[in-house]
Structure 1
């Protein structure tokens, strides 16, 4: 009898772990920790060398963590390691205008004092966040990390998955989770297709130093080519996410540092005094991509592997961490009921939980970008008036704030 499927069924599977996670960015370690703390054995496969991203040098990359995401990090035991390096976002100011002309008189102001729970979110640099996750993962006995390796094949059986790695190793697991980004190989091999499009925009990302304190205020300045986000970092530093058309972004990024700053200054304004570049410069092409299914037989997708959206609201990592919380809850509850937690029937509960929230967020970010990233005079008048009206309605403003803080909807237990 040489049919591998039949032989597999007859022999059964010897598992090397309960769950194998492909991808060691940020969602991967978060999911590994959440599952290990619930008693699951986890193998995480990370293509990078050990500590490759735990460099202590400042480069300006950071994440806007919603309050709900901070709660999840706290529950995972990670927050204490990053708290001292986190900058609370106390206020958010949203305005519209053109480069060099300053903002419209109509604006939207979110004040953290209107939320009982505290700051709406925190800015945390990539280097501190990843290092904290790395330390926590290394201390967790139920997590094995395979560095400098990657998943190259996956064979699905009735009772598990055999995962083939680039190193030549084969790992048997009950469930395979793809945390491997927008070009997810796990999703492709599972036959999961994607829906999406490019925006013709590129994000220019850097950090700046400025003369005056930011006082924990984040700014979102909408200009015709795209938004400019100014996000507070500890000290007199801010992270910049600056959206331009692809062609313009390519030309700007090719400039020297001094010329680059000369282009940024009229867009930035002088409200923080003199500004200068701090750290490296990065570019990211912007697009939307959503997996048509978040799960298949013994396979699930988390984070960018399931959905990638425009950074206009800074919700990419926050959406991924919601996936993490939902996945931990669904798998834990299934196992407590005596179910095979890796079956499609169980995984579809995760998909049902996350799909509506993701679709709503994707639609909101896509619509916002289309409404604000243009110079149509009718749309400009409408959106300026809209910002002003919302700013004068405390209940509406508070609802927007709670959305930004991640406090609405069906929250996973790690975020409550």
Structure 2
């Protein structure tokens, strides 16, 4: 019998397992993932880690290993234009405002491999078993334990099962948890480019009629791209030859950083909104994309997952210290209450922003550009938005998000 079985070996599952074992070493925690061992090393993507996520990783003892590969975001620029416009007026900048109250950048761009690799190393040092090419086939929740069937033919008895198995979560479906789901008809093209001139830590988001085109600074003269297009156009671009792809890329990226060269693989991911109607069931908790999948327009998807980790780990560890049943619904409902409103708010915000900016209706463009201009002229409002983006707004934050151990 074990205490907690985590299904999913991505950054959410790994950081949760490490957080639990670090705060409560006596807990028996295991992790399963259907991917082959080492598959994470082929992940060429990068993600924006905000201050709250950085605090959590520091508490877990892995940020020092990640930081050498991280690029601080020092400046943000937001424009609203068409792809063919010769000039892109800047409506909103966060210049010099992208720092926390502690003087740190509000976010860093980090290769996904660096995050996963550091968390795997921490899991190994804590003695957490990680079973690759293994998934949960089925589970039955009893009054005291889950009976869990694994794809390798083994079974586990666990007080709590945590689903970190992605936006199409099989465990969520087995538990009968319904979702609110909407397909945007868009796909996000992700790749990495190398450019002639330095980016100087500037992140840019160009709102184009098909969706946002974000350039995010990485170490060296490189940038990570999140390029939103209508799904049929995204598929055409992915399948096109290098010359066509780079020509379309250059039309959107511009020439300010000189000659461009695609240096990473290019992939397209369908975009939609998925919100679980419940985050918990008896002896089951959802975390990360299993609980919520949002549009990348705000760059907050990964950071929402880290917030789930901080809240769920604190809920479990405190319940264990009080001698409570960590898998009971009464315990898990504290986690659900803690996370549902923030997740719902972020889902609605990204949905509204995507609908507002992913169109070319002139009256709508006038109104949204006026709104961006007003925010740009109000330092207090800018600071409010930065604090929200850092993930540190609000009073009742899980301790790890503010840099405190559980």
Which of 72, 83, 104 in structure 2 is aligned with 1:88?
72
Report the equivalent of 1:120: 106
Alignment of structure 1 residues 146-165 onto 2, 5 Å: 146-165=131-150
Query: Can you list the C-alpha shifts for 1:326-357, whole angstroms capped at 9, x where unaligned?
Result: 00111111122221121001100000000000
**Residue aligned with 2:138, SS:** strand
8 Å CA contact 1:325, 1:412 repeated in 2: yes
Write out aligned runs for 1:215-234 (5 A).
215-234=200-219
The Cα shift of 1:105 comes to 2.9
Cα offset for 1:100?
2.4
Q: Deviations over 1:129-159 (max 9, x none)?
A: 1111111111112x11111111001011000
Distance 1:415 1:48 in 2: 29
CA distance in 1, matches of 2:256, 2:16: 40
* 1:36 has 2:16 as partner: no
For structure 2, the 5+ residue unaligned runs are none
Whole-angstrom CA distance in 1 between matches of 2:222 and 2:124: 31
> Quick check: 2:17–2:29 contact (8 Å CA) kept in 1?
yes
Q: TM-score, normalised by structure 1?
A: 0.93
| Aligned residue-pair number | 397
In the alignment, what sits opposite 2:38?
51
Q: For 1:102 and 1:200, how far apart are their aligned partners in 2?
A: 28
For residue 171 of structure 2, what is the aligned residue in structure 1? 186
Equivalent residue number for residue 10 of structure 1: none
Q: 2:89 aligns with which of 85, 97, 105?
A: 105
CA contact (8 A) 2:77 2:90 kept: no
Q: Which runs of 5+ in 1 are unaligned?
A: 1-14
1:241 to 2:226 alignment:
yes
Whether the 8 Å CA contact 2:144–2:159 is kept in 1: the answer is yes
CA displacement at 1:167 relative to structure 2: 0.6
- Who is 1:356 aligned against? 341
Relative to structure 1, the CA distance from residue 398 to residue 405 in structure 2 (aligned partners, 3 Å threshold; closer, same or farther) is same
Judged with a 3 Å threshold, the aligned counterparts in structure 2 of structure 1 residues 211 and 104 are, in CA distance, closer, same or farther, namely closer
Match 1:415 to one of 378, 387, 401 = 401
Partner SS, residue 54 of structure 1: helix
**1:401 alignment counterpart:** 386
- Between stretches 99-108 and 187-196, larger displacement belongs to 99-108
Q: Please tell me whether the aligned partners of residues 112 and 119 of structure 1 are also in contact (alpha carbons under 8 angstroms).
A: no
Matches within 5 A, 1:253-268: 253-268=238-253
3-state secondary structure, aligned to 1:279: coil
Question: Residue 51 of structure 1: CA displacement?
Answer: 2.0
Q: Secondary structure at the match of 2:39?
A: coil
**Offset of 1:104 from its aligned partner?**
4.5
Query: Aligned ranges for residues 311-322 of structure 1 at < 5 Å?
Result: 311-322=296-307
RMSD: 1.2
Q: Give 1:53 deviation, angstroms.
A: 1.4
Q: Which residue of structure 1 aligns with residue 126 of structure 2?
A: 140
- Please give the alpha-carbon distance, in whole angstroms, between the structure 2 residues aligned to 1:102 and 1:37: 54
Deviations 1:391-410 (A, max 9, x none): 00001000111111111123
1:130 to 116, 119, 128: 116
Which deviates the most, 309-318 or 333-342? 333-342
Superposition deviation, residue 102 in structure 1: 4.7
Tell me the alpha carbon deviations over residues 75-112 of structure 1, each in whole angstroms, 9 at most, x when there is no partner.
11111111100000111111111112155535111134
Give the Cα–Cα distance (whole angstroms) in 1 for the partners of residues 74 and 68 of structure 2: 16
Give 1 or 2 for the bigger CA radius of gyration: 1
Whether the aligned pair in 2 keeps the contact of 1:27 and 1:179 (CA below 8 Å) is yes
> Contact 2:188 / 2:270 at 8 angstroms: preserved in 1?
yes
Task: Give deviations 1:11-30, integer Å, cap 9, x for gaps.
Answer: xxxx2x11000111110000
Question: Aligned partners of 1:104 and 1:54: how far apart in 2?
Answer: 37
Q: TM-score, normalised by structure 2?
A: 0.96
2:51 and 2:100 in contact (8 A); partners too: no
